[in-house]
A and B are shown apart, each in its own frame.
Chain A
Amino acid sequence: MKYLGYITAHLWRHKRRTFLTVSSIAIALFLFCTLRTVMTSFDAALRASADTRLVVRHAASLVFPLPFSYRDRLAQIDGVTGVSYGNWFGGIYQDPKNNFAQFAVDVPTFVKLFPEVEMPPDQVSAWLAERTSCVVGATLAAKYGWKLGDAIPIQGTIYPGEYRFTVRGIYKGKTADVDENTLFFHWDYLNEAMPAVRKDWVGIYWLEIPNGDMAADVSGRVDALYANSSQPTKTETEKAFQASFISMMGNVSLLMTILGSAILFAILLVTINTMMMAARERTTEIAVLKTIGFSDDLVLRLVGAEAILVSVTGGILGCVAAWLIFQRVDFTAGGMFPNFTVMPQTVGLGIVLAIAMGLVSGLVPALQAGRLRIATALRKVA
Chain B
Amino acid sequence: MTPTESAAPAEALIRLRDVHKIYHRDKIEIPVLTGLSMDVKGGEFLALMGPSGSGKSTLLNLIAGIDTPSRGDVWVAGASLGALKPGKLAAWRARNVGFIFQLYNLIPVLTAYQNVELPLLLTRLNGAERKKRVHLALELVGLQDRDHHFPHQLSGGQEQRVAIARAIVGDPTLLVADEPTGDLDAKNAEEILTLLQRLNREMGKTIVMVTHDPHAAERAHATLHLEKGVLIEQQGAVR
Contact = CB atoms under 8 A, between A and B. Distances in A.
Interface in B72-131: 86-87, 90-95, 97, 99, 101-103, 105, 107-110, 114, 118-119, 121-122, 127
Chain A interface secondary structure, helix, strand, loop or mixed? helix
Interface string B117-151: 01101100001000000000000000000000000
A294 interface: yes
Contacts of B122: 292-294, 298
A382 B61 CA distance: 13
A98 interface: no
- Of B92, B110, B127, chain A has the most CB atoms within 10 Å of the CB of B110
A97 interface: no
- The interface centre, meaning the residue of B61, B64, B90, B166 with most chain A CB atoms within 10 A of its CB, is B90
Contact of A293 (B90, B108, B127): B90
A3 interface: yes
Contacts of B92: 293
Interface stretch (A4-12, A66-74, A180-188, A361-369): A4-12
A6 B114 contact: yes
Contacts, number: 71
Interface residues of A, number: 26
B57 interface: yes
A302 to B, nearest CB: 10
B99 A291 contact: yes
| Interface of chain B, main secondary structure | helix
A2 B110 CA distance: 14
Contacts of A285: 105, 107
A3 B107 CA distance: 14
A295 interface: yes
Interface of B: 57-58, 61, 64, 66-67, 86-87, 90-95, 97, 99, 101-103, 105, 107-110, 114, 118-119, 121-122, 127, 166, 170
20 contacts: A6-B121, A9-B110, A13-B108, A284-B105, A285-B105, A288-B107, A289-B118, A290-B66, A292-B118, A293-B90, A293-B95, A293-B97, A294-B94, A295-B87, A296-B86, A296-B87, A375-B61, A375-B67, A378-B61, A382-B102
Interface of A: 2-3, 5-6, 9-10, 12-13, 284-285, 288-298, 374-375, 378, 381-382
